[in-house]
Amino acid sequence: MANFGALTDHFTLAASVGTLVESSKTPVANSRADALDENGDIADAAWYGNTAAELYEASCTYQVDTTDVNVATALKLGELATGVVVTSIEISTSNGDWPKITVSGILGTGALEQGKTYALPSNWDTLALIRAGGPYPYRQDDGVFGNREGLLPRQPSGYYREYTVVTPGSDDRGPRRIIFGADGDRYWTADHYASFRQIKESR
């Protein structure tokens, strides 16, 4: 699906919609997660998101040159083919011109699954999973964290929720967790609540 200056019909809709007049394809941006030490300095960092260049944001604009476009079948949100997902459809008109339809979406190297994270380092993929609202790997995830150790700032009951960070090679939940506060504060523990580092994200 490379685009080397020529137009590329990423969604293969030209045959049913009209003439392709514009297209674009750019890699999905990465983000960085920083773990801070007790002094607020960055102790560890990891990139997550599209780190293996598996995901692309794509857009195609088609000029409608037919009076018979079946929007219900030709244009629909969701996965059109393996790794090709339409996220938005915009129709524009102007005097004297045929209508134009702009389709935007995500391209992937394989099937894109809702709630799945892509090419994320194991220490940080949980952050993306939380944003997606799951599904989580363990039933205990998204449960209330009581802060019984008293190592996090004191907050009302139910303020903190905990999520498992998968430990490679472990046959159970392992010791790694991310704790989310209701106000957006986030903490990382690699030793099952014995110590915490605050997570700071940057783009």
pLDDT mean over 9-27: 86
Band (pLDDT 50/70/90 cuts) for residue 193 is very high
Query: Do residues 85 and 132 both lie within one domain?
Result: no
Query: Do residues 147 and 180 both lie within one domain?
Result: yes
Peptide bond into 135 cis (omega under 30): yes
Task: Out of 108, 142, 159, pick the residue that ends a domain.
Answer: 108
Predicted pLDDT of residue 161: 94
Provide the annotated active-site residues: 162, 192
Is residue 115 over pLDDT 80? no
pLDDT mean over 175-187: 90
Is residue 196 over pLDDT 80? yes
Supply φ then ψ for residue 15, to 5 degrees: -65, -30
Whether 187 maps to a domain, the answer reads yes
- List % helix, strand, coil for the chain (3-state, nearest 5): 5, 35, 55
Is residue 98 over pLDDT 80? no
pLDDT in tens, 36-89: 666 666 666 655 554 455 678 889 998 887 666 666 566 777 777 777 878 888
Counting the structural domains of the chain, the total is 2
Per DSSP, the residues of 79-139 read: EEETTEEEEEEEEE--TTS--EEEEEEEEESS---TT---S--TTTHHHHHHHTT---SST
Query: Do residues 130 and 65 both lie within one domain?
Result: no
Query: Do residues 27 and 64 both lie within one domain?
Result: yes
Among 137, 127, 31, 28, smallest CA distance to 87 is for: 28
Domain of 80 in residue numbering reads as 14-108
The CATH number of whichever domain residue 142 belongs to comes to 3.10.450.30
> Cα separation of 106 and 84, whole Å?
6
Predicted pLDDT of residue 96: 66
> Cα separation of 83 and 12, whole Å?
13
What pTM did the predictor assign? 0.44
What is the distance, to the nearest Å, from the Cα of residue 176 to the centroid of all Cα atoms in its chain?
22
Query: Do residues 104 and 184 both lie within one domain?
Result: no
Predicted pLDDT of residue 39: 66
Query: Do residues 27 and 102 both lie within one domain?
Result: yes
* pLDDT cut 90: percent of the chain above it: 19
> Cα separation of 177 and 189, whole Å?
5
The rounded radius of gyration (Å) of the Cα atoms in the chain is 22
Query: Do residues 82 and 23 both lie within one domain?
Result: yes
**Mean pLDDT of the residues in the chain:** 76
Task: Out of 108, 139, 159, pick the residue that ends a domain.
Answer: 108
Query: Do residues 177 and 94 both lie within one domain?
Result: no
Is residue 123 over pLDDT 50? no
pLDDT in tens, 2-13: 334 578 888 888
Length, in residues, of the chain: 203
Query: Do residues 132 and 94 both lie within one domain?
Result: no
Query: Do residues 33 and 104 both lie within one domain?
Result: yes
Whether 9 maps to a domain, the answer reads no
